[in-house]
């Protein structure tokens, strides 16, 4: 399997600063790695270096892409004779909250999905939730304001701020039931080809239960403890576009070696 990283826009022989540590560690560990220019790709030119071997499996490691952008990358990989490890459907399954929600409902805060600009008051009228946690299909509001809405008016406020700071609401709006969570307890796990991995080697039951439900070759699972100590699933993510968070780079790369 070959890893594909974005290069530095000004120096195409080097990895982009964001991925440099991981790219260099992967090369040092003897893993096959290529670079490509995300900027050239946007203007229709895809030139991975080194080129892919025929039929080789390629795993992207880079910025989040929308489903259309991921589909274009996948086509470009295939035009270069290789195969992407993750299909577009598999990418969307973990990248978009509404796609995985029904498969993990028992582990994650209750959620409703509405279009941007919908009648939020009508949508939450019968829910009797203590407060709301508002995000689009991909991300919460990461400014100091945060994503918690204490009223329907604040739901609209969070949605407009997401649009203001990120330029758009991706997909639609997720309104989640607010839950009391224990601070600083979030931990990221990864599942690669069906096998779950923990940073410290101990995979909790919740992650073992989720792993076989999700038809994706590589995804992340974020677990937070609730105030009473119960593990809760906060989100899944496509592993190709997930940060390593607290994972030391060498430990992360071991995932791909089984």
In the complex, the residues that contact ligand ADP under the rule CB under 6 A are 109, 133, 135, 139-140, 142, 176-179, 181, 186, 222, 224, 234-235
Nearest distance from C-beta of residue 169 to ligand ADP, angstroms: 13
Nearest distance from C-beta of residue 19 to ligand ADP, angstroms: 19
Of 211 and 234, nearer to ligand ADP (C-beta) is: 234
Nearest distance from C-beta of residue 36 to ligand ADP, angstroms: 26
4 Cβ contact list (under 8 Å, min separation 6) = 33, 34, 35, 36, 48, 58, 59, 60, 61, 62, 77
Which pair of structure tokens corresponds to residue 192?
């690669």
Of 32 and 181, nearer to ligand ADP (C-beta) is: 181
Of 133 and 252, nearer to ligand ADP (C-beta) is: 133
Of 49 and 145, nearer to ligand ADP (C-beta) is: 145
Nearest distance from C-beta of residue 233 to ligand ADP, angstroms: 10
Of 83 and 177, nearer to ligand ADP (C-beta) is: 177
- ∠ CA 161-154-105, rounded to 5°: 90
Cα 218 to Cα 94: distance, rounded to the nearest angstrom:
9
b/e for 25-39, b at 16 or more Cβ within 10 A? bbeeeebbbbbbbbe
Region of residue 9 (left: phi > 0; alpha: psi -120 to 50; beta: else): alpha
Nearest distance from C-beta of residue 34 to ligand ADP, angstroms: 28
């Amino acid at each position: 399997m070959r890893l594909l990283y974005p290069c530095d826009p000004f120096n195409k022989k080097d990895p982009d600063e964001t991925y440099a540590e991981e790219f260099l560690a992967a090369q040092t560990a003897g893993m096959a790695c290529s670079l490509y220019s995300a900027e050239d790709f946007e203007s229709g030119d895809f030139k991975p270096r080194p080129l892919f071997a025929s039929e080789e499996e390629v795993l992207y490691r880079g910025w989040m892409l929308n489903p259309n952008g991921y589909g274009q990358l996948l086509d470009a990989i295939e035009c270069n004779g290789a195969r992407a490890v993750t299909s577009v459907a598999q990418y969307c399954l973990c990248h978009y909250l509404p796609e995985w929600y029904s498969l993990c409902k028992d582990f994650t805060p209750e959620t409703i999905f509405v279009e941007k600009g919908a009648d939020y008051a009508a949508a939450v009228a019968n829910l009797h939730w203590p407060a709301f946690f508002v995000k689009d299909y991909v991300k919460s509001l990461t400014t100091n304001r945060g994503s918690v809405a204490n009223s329907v008016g604040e739901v609209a406020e969070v949605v407009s701020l997401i649009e203001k700071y990120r330029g758009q609401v991706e997909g639609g709006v997720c309104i989640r039931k607010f839950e009391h969570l224990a601070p600083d307890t979030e931990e990221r796990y990864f599942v690669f080809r069906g096998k779950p991995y923990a940073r410290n080697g101990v995979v909790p039951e919740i992650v073992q239960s989720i792993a076989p439900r999700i038809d994706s070759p590589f995804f992340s699972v974020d677990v937070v403890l609730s105030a009473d100590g119960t593990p809760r699933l906060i989100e899944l993510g496509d592993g190709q576009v997930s940060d390593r968070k607290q994972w030391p780079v060498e430990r992360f790369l071991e995932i791909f070696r089984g």
